[in-house]
A and B are shown apart, each in its own frame.
Chain A
Amino acid sequence: MSLLLQNGRVVDPANGLDAVQDVLLVEGRVERVGRRLEAPAGTEVLDVTGKVVCPGFIDVHVHLREPGYEYKETVATGTRAAAAGGFTAVACMANTHPVNDNGAVTDYILAKAKVEGVVRVYPIGAVTRGLKGEELAELAELAEAGCVAFSDDGRCVMNAGLYRRALEYTLPFGVPVVSHAEDTTLCHGWAMNEGVVSTEVGLPGAPAAAEDVMVARDILLAELTGAHVHIAHLSTAGAVRLVREGKSRGVRVTAEVTPHHLVLTEEAVRTYDPNTKMAPPLRTKRDTEALLEALADGTIDCIATDHAPHALAEKEGEFDRAAFGVVGLETAVSVLLDRVVGPGLLSLATLVARLSRDPARLFGLPGGSLAPGAPADVTVLDLDRRVTIEPARFRSKSRNTPFASWQLTGAPALTIVAGGVVRP
C-alpha cells in the first residue's frame, strides 16, 4: 500500500524543511520526500497543492475516559476526535476507572486501541496506586506493558518524599514523569484563577502560586534525582520563569501548554459558563503573554490539549459545582492557526514543531519527522479554510468546549496514520 502526497508545502522542522515537495509513503513508512517523485504502480495519488504537509501531530495529554467513564468518551470516539482534529497519536492519562495503575488496565487500553482506535494510542501509567498519592503504583509492570510516561494527572502528588521515590524508581525506564502541579493546600475548593475577576464574580480562586510552588518543587526533585520531569499544562508566568531557570541549569525539566491557556484569560469566566472551568484555571493576560513567549523560545517544549471530555449534565449547571476540564482535540489546530500563527505570535514551522517533533522527542515516541523510514503519520493542513466551531458536530462524545461558535481560519485537512488516510 502506498500513497503519494503531491505538490504540498512540506513543513518538517525535524529535518529543517519548508518547501513545496512530494511525500511518498510506502507500507506504513515514509519512503521519500522530494520534487516530482515517481509514484510506483498502484500508488494512490493525492494532490495537496496549496496545503501544508507536516509530520503527524502528537497530543501527549488527553483523557480517553475508557475504561470506566464511557459516557464521557471512549477509545473509539476519542481517537476519532483526534483524527478529526489532525492528530495521529495521543497519550492518554491514567485517571480512568479502574485507574491505569497496573499492567492489566494498560493491556485493556491497548487492546481497545488496536481494535477500535483510529490513531496511535500511548497509555500513561499512574504514579501512585489509585491516584491516591499514598504508595507507588506497579511502575515497572506499567512500563513493560507499554506506558510511555507516568502521571497522576488530575491530582498532584502532594507527598514530596513519595514523588522523589517515584522519580528515582522510574529512572531505568527512560520515560518522563508528568506533573500536575497544584499545591492543594494553597487552593482549597477553588473554581477559577485568584485575582480581581474572582473577587468580582465571587468564586474561590486558585493563586498562581499554587502552581508555581509545585513547579519549583518538581524542578528541585528532578535535579535531585536526575529524572525527567515534564510539567503538564503550564499556565503561569511564574512557572515559565522557573522552568526557564531550571533548563538553564541543565535540569531535565520540560513543559507543555494547552491552546486554551494560550488564547483565553480569566475574563472569560465572567459569564459563569462552566466550559471556562478547568485545572489549572484560565489566568491573566500577563500569563498568556509569558506562555506565548516561552512557547516561541522553547522554554515550553510542546502543545498538548488536555482533552477532558465531560457529559452535558456535568458542565451545564452551577459553576462551582461543574466538573473541571474542556475538550480540545477537535479545536486545537484551528484555534492555534487562527489566534497564534495568524497574528504572527508563532511561526508556522514552530507551531508544527511543537505539535510533532517536540512531543515525539520528549516522550520517546515514533514519529515527529518525515525522514525516510519514519512512520507514515502525516497531518495535512488547509491554512485558508474558514471554519465555525460547532460542538454538535464533534466526533468526541462530549461538547464541553469554550470555543463554541468561534469563527476561525485554518483547519486540518487530512490525517494519515501508518500510510492510510483516516476518515473519522
Chain B
Amino acid sequence: MGWTRKDLLAMRDLDASEILLLVDTAASLQEIATREIKKVPALRGKTVVNLFYEASTRTRTSFEIAGKWLSADVVNFAASGSSTAKGESFVDTAKNIAAMSPDVVVVRHSSSGAAALLARELPCSIVNAGDGTHEHPTQALLDLLTIREKKGHVEGLHVAIVGDIAHSRVARSNIHGMRKLGMTVTVAGPPTLIPPFVQELGVKVSHRLDDAIRDVDVIMMLRLQHERMAAGLIPSLREYSRYWGLSLDRLARHARPDVLIMHPGPVNRGVELSPEVADGPYSVILDQVAKGVAVRMGVLLLLAGSKGGNGA
C-alpha cells in the first residue's frame, strides 16, 4: 500500500503497515550513502524548509543531507537572529514561509503540539522533527531500522528505555512504534522521571536498572537534562550516575552478551553512559546516526515525491 498522509506528526497516528513502509523505504535508500556521487534526482525542484526553533545539530544536519541527496532545495531557518527575535509569532512566521511555497516544512519546536499546529495552518507537508516532550517520529523510525538491521527482525524483541522518560519525546515515539510492531517495552528510571499512567501505553515499568536490563535485546539510554535537579526530580548527577548510569561492569553482570546499546544523542558521557559503553562493542549509536539520513530521505520522498515525483 502507498503513503496517503500529508504530514508525519506522530508515531501514535500511524498503523504498523505505515511504519513498515517508512522503514522499508529508508532501508532501500541506504545505499545512496555508499555511492561516490551521493545524489539522486527524486526531489529535484522540490523545496524543503528546516524550521528549527530549538538548537539541534544532528537532526537538522540529517534532514539537510537527506534533502540534498534527493536533490531538493533545502533551506535552513533558525529561530535565533530572525523574525522571532522581533516578536513575530510562530504561526505568523510559518505562514510567511508557507507563502514562499515550500513542499515540506520540517519543524522542531519546544512546544508540544507545535507540529500539529503547523499541519492545521499550512497547506504543505509538515514533518515533526521533535515537538516539546510529545514526539520525535523520525528518531523512532531510525531506531527501528537500526534494530531491524542488527537483529534481523523486530517483532518479539524486548527493549528497555532508560532514564528521563517523562521529558522524552524519543521515548514516546519509540513506545508507540515498538508496540505497534509487536515489541515488548520496559521503561526504567526513578519514579520522578516516569510519566504518570505510562503503563496505559502498554509498557512495563521498572525502578531498578539491573532488573530493567536483564534479558532485554536492546537498551536505549536517554539523555539526562541538568535542569531536572533544579526541579527537584533527582538529588544529584552523582547519585543519578551511580544508580542509573550504564557501565561495562553492569552490562557484563546483568545484560545479555548480544545486547544492543542505543542512545538518541547527544550523550552525557559519564552520566547515563560510561565512555567505554558509548564507544564499546555493544554500542550502535553511530549506526543510528547513519540510518537517520536514510530515514529522513524516506520520509521526504514519501511526503514530497508522491505527487508526480520520479522515484529514486
By a beta-carbon cutoff of 8 Å, the part of chain A in contact with chain B is: 188, 194-196, 198-205, 207, 271-272, 313, 316-321
Contact = CB atoms under 8 A, between A and B. Distances in A.
Contacts of A203: 112-113, 132-134
B166 to A, nearest CB: 8
Contacts of B116: 271-272
A317 B91 contact: yes
Given A316-B91, A317-B91, A319-B112, A198 B131 contact: no
Contacts of B46: none
A195 B91 contact: no
B135 A317 contact: no
Interface stretch (B16-24, B197-205, B272-280, B301-309): B197-205
Contact of B201 (A199, A202, A271, A313): A199
B172 interface: yes
B91 A201 contact: no
B169 interface: yes
Contacts of B200: 196, 199
Given A194-B196, A199-B198, A202-B169, A318 B134 contact: no
Contacts of B169: 202
Contacts of A313: 89
- Judged by DSSP, the binding face of B is mixed
Contacts of A321: 111
A126 B89 CA distance: 33
B89 to A, nearest CB: 6
A317 B111 CA distance: 10
Most A C-beta atoms less than 10 A away, residue of B111, B114, B198, B201: B111
A202 B133 contact: yes
Closest 5 CB pairs of A and B: A272-B113, A202-B134, A318-B111, A202-B133, A196-B197
B234 to A, nearest CB: 16
Contacts of B114: 318
A318 B90 contact: yes
Given A194-B196, A201-B134, A203-B113, 16 more contacts: A188-B231, A195-B197, A196-B196, A196-B201, A199-B172, A199-B196, A199-B201, A202-B132, A203-B112, A204-B133, A207-B196, A313-B89, A318-B109, A318-B113, A318-B114, A321-B111
Nearest to B195: A199
Contacts of B89: 313, 317
Contact of B172 (A202, A271, A317): A202
Contacts of B135: 202
B269 interface: no
Interface residues on B, range: 20 to 34
Interface in B95-143: 109, 111-114, 116-117, 131-135
A188 B227 CA distance: 14
A250 B301 CA distance: 69
A319 B113 contact: yes
Contacts of B117: 272, 317-319
Given A194-B196, A202-B112, A317 B90 contact: yes
25 contacts: A195-B197, A196-B200, A199-B172, A199-B197, A199-B198, A199-B200, A199-B201, A201-B112, A201-B113, A202-B132, A202-B134, A202-B135, A202-B172, A204-B133, A205-B196, A272-B113, A317-B89, A317-B91, A318-B111, A318-B114, A318-B117, A319-B111, A319-B113, A320-B111, A321-B111
Nearest to A320: B111
Interface string B181-221: 00000000000000111101100000000000000000000
A194 B114 CA distance: 20
Contacts of B150: none
B12 interface: yes
Contacts of B91: 316-317
A202 B196 CA distance: 11
A195 B196 contact: yes
Given A317-B117, A320-B132, A198 B109 contact: no
Nearest to A322: B111
Contacts of B132: 202-203, 320
Most A C-beta atoms less than 10 A away, residue of B112, B135, B172: B112
Given A313-B89, A317-B117, A318-B90, A202 B131 contact: yes
B94 to A, nearest CB: 10
Nearest to A189: B231
A204 B200 CA distance: 18
B175 to A, nearest CB: 9
Nearest to B198: A199
Contacts of A198: 195-196
Nearest to A191: B112
A272 B120 CA distance: 11
Contacts of B12: 200
A183 to B, nearest CB: 15
A319 B132 CA distance: 11
A318 B120 CA distance: 12
A204 B172 CA distance: 14
A194 B135 CA distance: 18
Nearest to B94: A317
Interface in B238-289: none
A199 B171 CA distance: 11
A30 B182 CA distance: 71
A271 B113 CA distance: 8
B112 A272 contact: yes
A53 to B, nearest CB: 44
Nearest to A318: B111
A321 to B, nearest CB: 6
Contacts of B134: 201-203
Contacts of B111: 318-321
Nearest to B131: A202
